[in-house]
Structure 1
Amino acid sequence: MFERAKGNNFGVITCQSCKAFFRRNANKSINVFNCEYEDNCDISIANRKTCKKCRLKKCFAVGMKKEWILNEDERQLRRKQIEDNRHKREKLMRDKEIKSIEQEITQEINDTNGGKLSQESALKLQLVSTQPSTQSLSANSHYLNKHESNCLLELLGAISHLTTPPIPSSNAVNGFFRSPEELMNYSVEVFDSYLSDFVDSIKKISAFQHICLNDQIALVKYGCLEVKMIRIGVSFDIKNKCWSFQTDNNDTIKLSLNLFKGFKTNTYSVLKKYLLRVVNELDHDHLILNLLVPILFFNPERPNIIHKEVVVLQQQLYVYLLQRYLRMKYGSESDVRNKFLRILNLMQDVQALDKLHKQNMITTVSLNNFGPLLKEILDIQTDLCIHN
């Protein structure tokens, strides 16, 4: 009321000084204060501190309401609401930014030939920081720098071609796979085609080129089916609880999750657990699943690896990239740390599914139907196939 007004305080436009005075004294009885001039002081900016009683009376007279003063519990609740609203606004901004990033990545990949990105096209993306490229960004930055964005684009461009081969139309009876045996026979039948596509895709990742031939072979042999298990989380239709595939005559055939109940192993329960984690832990975020592909693939603990330190280096690159993406999406360090650990737990589900898938193929399909590449991947000896 005496200085320049700063806002609406307790129902009246006042200065900060009167706001603070009223909060301190409004709940006190006005009779605890004494006035030396018969309660008739002319309160102004010059003498406002000389008589608290008349100043308080003037506050009430202009309409300030003590009922609007918050107690300690109410102030804490108010602060919490403000903080929660701030977090919601920040999350909304991050979600919009992530969605924009994903759309730009998808468009950029679709606009390239064979998923191979040029340096010029990669630099067009808004993923790149507005800061000079020579200036390093902190780990908490909400932008990927040029090197990080190029690595991400390279990865997504490479694995975008890991598609399921067309299914023979003879399998599309009633539009569904009919039995576990039919599914496993199909998996064996198309394995060579899948492996060829997998090798072509993984060779497009520059990190793979830094690894010696012996270690490349070991990584492909022991990692190709695990990557396939990750990818089933990308294509799963959670609403209809099935996968959809194209046949060789452009019809659609569906694979129901319930079909896996027919396996003698516990495939159904492990698979369902994995798919639910994809939805609940990853918010069905396909970008996170795709980042798990190289983390799982570049596993230095694979058999027959010679240069483990080189493989570890490539794996750490994508671990770091996943952590950077999570910081962009979730913001809070504690949230990022917890989310990252839960995501890594998915890898245990993937490895369990890989073992079950191999076991199901071996026990369901005649080994004589296995091609030489699949026999090598599964370490099946030729003499075992002859007597099967």
Structure 2
Amino acid sequence: MDDTNKRCLVCEDKSNGRNFGAQTCESCKAYFRRNAHRFEEYECKNDNKCTVSLLTRTFCRACRLKKCFDVGMREDWIMSDSERNARKLRLKKRQKLEENDTKNDCSQQSYDSLSDSSSNSDLSIKSLSNDKSNSLVVYKNLENNLFNDDNDCDLSEFLIFSVPKSITDYNNCFNEKEFSYLNELLSATQHLQRNFIPIVTTESTNLETIFTFILNKGESDMSKMITVCNNLRAFKTISDDNQICLLKIGLLQMILLRSIDIYDKHTNSWCAFKDNESMKINLEFWKWSNKTYIYSLYEQYYENTFTAWDGDPIIIDMLMVILLFNPNRNNLTDKVVVKLQRNIYVYLLRRYLTIKYQSEIEAKKRLLVLMKSLKIVENLGLIQATNYINHRNQPQSDLKLMNEVCSI
């Protein structure tokens, strides 16, 4: 979590975090925000071969902007003036709320009591209840509050046992146990991250072509998701039968969750890439195929998630694991263990949000929105799996994982 040694992917200056989808410095962040829409206006006199570094970044506007796009910065994540003003108003309102309600400030959370909770760095159920003086945040009726269909869920229902340590800065604020879990997750998902923007090689309106591409990409992505799962200690400690229960439908839902990373809200389309091929797919194709209900779920998911997600891949990584550890999977026997793991990652997500935004109020608000998004993705996954099974002419031998995962 320590960004002090990270460098800007554009000019190699000291990075101040992820901006518009890529690790950059404050200067390149500001440059991209001001000039992203001018890409066609700038011309390089050196055939787009200029070196962009801390010393030369101001020499060629075209090459600097091109490199911004190359490393993954996204123009559609730039807020308009009205959006920025609205955000400033929200920040002022939030600060006033925090000043007037310090007694409810929950930023003093700690995970230290978990350090000795079990062997092999695994958390135990006992650690959630024994030590009331220095304990993990425990959510009262977690599933009823965060995973239900009630959009008016009251976050005041969260039960907090203690608030031992205050968060003073973003760096070095996770203790050893928390960092262990987060570091493991980031290592497990490293192969899913991309530092480039795929160039569209195909754009089709033919439904059969689109469906074939999506199914083949889904089959490929499922293999990558399995690799993530196998790199998580908590997943490997579960029996083989229970692992299969979690992966059925779960893999498909994880892929649907991550689709937001390739979604462009301005064109309402995906830029889906597989190997060396990249296809632009307009979400309207679900309407063309008479599946308006699926289109509506995608629309609801993206609209609900876009602002709360804030373009942060770490948030998506944690949501993906929360989605994996679903204690309500069919035929699951280790429900208590799975439920515990889900609660742990929900806790880590809330800690991460609190640290990132330096506000418990903001963290609560975003956490609630993100949990609602998971519910949408769960429903979408079940519908897509049923749709695949019911409409395939025969099991396709080259889609073995898809066939297995969607067989509810």
Report the TM-score when normalising by structure 2.
0.53
1:275 is the counterpart of 2:305: no
Q: CA deviation at 1:316?
A: 1.5
In 1, Cα distance between equivalents of 2:305 and 2:224: 24
* Secondary structure of 1:296's aligned partner: helix
Which of residues 165, 190, 203 in structure 2 aligns to 1:160? Answer: 190
Alpha-carbon deviation of 1:178? 2.3
Q: CA deviation at 1:192?
A: 4.1
Residue number in structure 1 paired with 2:224 = 197
What one-letter code is carried by the residue in structure 2 that aligns with 1:351? E
Amino acid at match of 1:277: N
Name the amino acid aligned to 1:150.
S
Secondary structure of the residue aligned to 1:369 is: coil
Matched, 1:259 2:285: yes
Letter in 2 for 1:332: S
Q: CA deviation at 1:158?
A: 1.5
CA displacement at 1:366 relative to structure 2: 2.1
* Aligned match for 2:174, one of 119, 131, 144: 144
Q: What are the ranges of 5 or more consecutive residues in structure 1 without an aligned counterpart?
A: 1-80, 91-135, 165-171, 381-388
Aligned-pair identity in percent equals 30
The CA distance in 2 between the partners of 1:309 and 1:362, in whole Å, is: 31
Provide the C-alpha distance between the structure 1 equivalents of 2:334 and 2:277, rounded to a whole number of angstroms.
46
CA deviations on 1:345-387 (whole Å, 9 max, x unpaired) are 001110122123224433554224364443332228xxxxxxx
Q: Secondary structure at the match of 2:248?
A: helix
Pair 357,235 (structure 1): closer, same or farther in 2 beyond 3 Å = same
Query: Residues 221 and 252 of structure 1: is their aligned pair in 2 closer, same or farther, counting only changes over 3 Å?
Result: closer
Alpha-carbon distance in structure 1 between the residues aligned to 2:345 and 2:217: 29
The AA in structure 2 aligned to 1:255 is I
SS at match of 2:300: helix
Q: Does 1:356 align with 2:377?
A: no
Counterpart for residue 337 of structure 2: 310
The amino acid of 1:376's aligned partner reads E
2:328 counterpart SS class: coil
Structure 1 residues 344 and 177, CA gap change in structure 2 (3 angstroms) = same
**1:179 CA displacement:** 3.2
Query: What are the within-5 Å matches in structure 2 for residues 55-66 of structure 1?
Result: none
- Opposite residue 208 of structure 2, the aligned amino acid is E
Match in the other structure for 1:130: none
Task: Report the Cα offset of residue 304 of structure 1.
Answer: 1.2
TM-score, L = length of structure 1: 0.56
Q: What is the SS of the residue equivalent to 1:300?
A: coil
Q: Distance in 2 between matches of 1:202 and 1:379?
A: 20
Q: How does 1:77-116 map to 2 (within 5 A)?
A: 84=92, 87=95
Counterparts of 2:272 and 2:337, CA distance in 1:
37
Counterpart of 1:217 in structure 2 is: 244
Residues 247 and 220 (structure 1), Cα distance of their counterparts in 2 relative to 1, 3 Å cut = closer
Q: Distance in 2 between matches of 1:225 and 1:218?
A: 13
Letter in 2 for 1:206: R
Output the CA distance in 1 between the equivalents of 2:244 and 2:335.
14
Counterpart Cα distance in 2 of 1:282 and 1:341? 12
Amino acid across the alignment from 2:374: M
Paired residues, number? 246
Q: Cα–Cα, structure 1 residues 205 and 274, in superposed 2: closer, same or farther, change >3 Å?
A: same
Match of 1:322 in 2: 349
**Structure-1 separation of matches of 2:183 and 2:358:** 22
State the secondary structure of the residue aligned to 1:161: helix
1:321-351 CA distance string (max 9 Å, x none): 0010111133333332232222110011101
Matched residue type, 1:258: E
**C-alpha separation in 2, matches of 1:332 and 1:216:** 36
Partner of 2:67: none
- Deviation per residue, 1:129-186 (Å, 9 max, x gap): xxxxxxx99464242223222322221221232479xxxxxxx8x7213233322223
1:208 Cα deviation (Å)?
0.9
TM-fit CA distance, 1:236: 1.6
More helix per residue: 1 or 2? 1
1:45-78 C-alpha deviation (Å, 9 max, x unpaired): xxxxxxxxxxxxxxxxxxxxxxxxxxxxxxxxxx
**What is the alpha-carbon distance in structure 2 between the residues aligned to residue 195 and residue 289 of structure 1?**
16
Match of 1:286 among 304, 313, 328: 313
Match of 1:375 in 2: 403
Q: Distance in 1 between matches of 2:359 and 2:217?
A: 44
Change in 2 beyond 3 A, CA 1:175/1:331 = same
Q: Which residue of 2 aligns with 1:339?
A: 366
Deviation for aligned residue 1:273: 1.5
Cα separation, 1, equivalents of 2:94 and 2:374: 34
In structure 1, the residue matched to 2:25 is none
Q: Is residue 245 of structure 1 aligned with residue 272 of structure 2?
A: yes
Let me know the Cα RMSD of the aligned residues.
3.3
Q: How does 1:23-42 map to 2 (within 5 A)?
A: none
Unaligned runs of 5+ in 2: 1-88, 99-161, 195-199
Amino acid at match of 1:347: L
Q: Distance in 2 between matches of 1:372 and 1:85?
A: 52
Alignment partners' CA distance in 1, 2:359 and 2:350: 12
1:220 partner letter = L
- SS for the counterpart of 1:245 is strand
* SS of alignment partner, residue 239 of structure 1: coil
Look up the equivalent residue of 2:282 and give its one-letter code.
Answer: S
